[in-house]
Amino acid sequence: MSHMLSNANIDPCYALRKEKVHKSLNYIYGKARSAVDLGKVAFFTSINTLKCMIWGRTRQEEKEATDIGVEFWKVVIEIMGLLAKPKVSNFFPVLARFDI
């Protein structure tokens, strides 16, 4: 993965990255009078850019990528919620062997 995302491989994708960032900025600009979740926009921008850099894309895949991005976002949020929940064994180390 480190070779795939090395400078030598990322530099040729400059135009693609620029396009994705401009697309996100246009989306934010279009929502000028309403609240925008910048974390979500940044997440989708980075995921879509990485997907396009690794696997390429077509226009039909743009819609599918958005659907996949939404589902991936939900999974990430769920994982973050699970990681934030404290375990009983954090407070009572004697119970660590029971993994509760």
Span 15-49, pLDDT tens digits: 888 998 999 999 999 998 899 989 888 988 888 88
In angstroms, rounded to a whole number, what is the distance separating the alpha carbons of residues 70 and 53? Answer: 19
In angstroms, rounded to a whole number, what is the distance separating the alpha carbons of residues 49 and 18? Answer: 9
Q: Given a cut of 80, is residue 58 above it in pLDDT?
A: no
How many domains is the chain built from? Answer: 1
Domain extent at residue 67: 7-86
Q: What pLDDT is recorded for position 26? A: 93
**What is the reported pTM?**
0.59
Residue 98 lies in a domain: no
Q: Given a cut of 80, is residue 5 above it in pLDDT?
A: no
C-alpha distances out from residue 16 to 27, 48, 56, 78, 95, Å: 17, 10, 10, 30, 51
Q: What pLDDT is recorded for position 35? A: 92
Q: What pLDDT is recorded for position 2? A: 65
Q: First CA to last CA across the chain, in angstroms?
A: 35
Q: Given a cut of 60, is residue 1 above it in pLDDT?
A: no
Q: What pLDDT is recorded for position 82? A: 82
Residue 92 lies in a domain: no
In angstroms, rounded to a whole number, what is the distance separating the alpha carbons of residues 100 and 92? Answer: 10
Q: Given a cut of 80, is residue 57 above it in pLDDT?
A: no
Residue 53 lies in a domain: yes
Residue 96 lies in a domain: no
C-alpha distances out from residue 6 to 1, 43, 53, 99, Å: 9, 21, 12, 39
Q: What pLDDT is recorded for position 61? A: 63
Q: Given a cut of 80, is residue 63 above it in pLDDT?
A: no
CA angle, 81 then 82 then 85, to 5°: 90
Tell me how long the chain is.
100
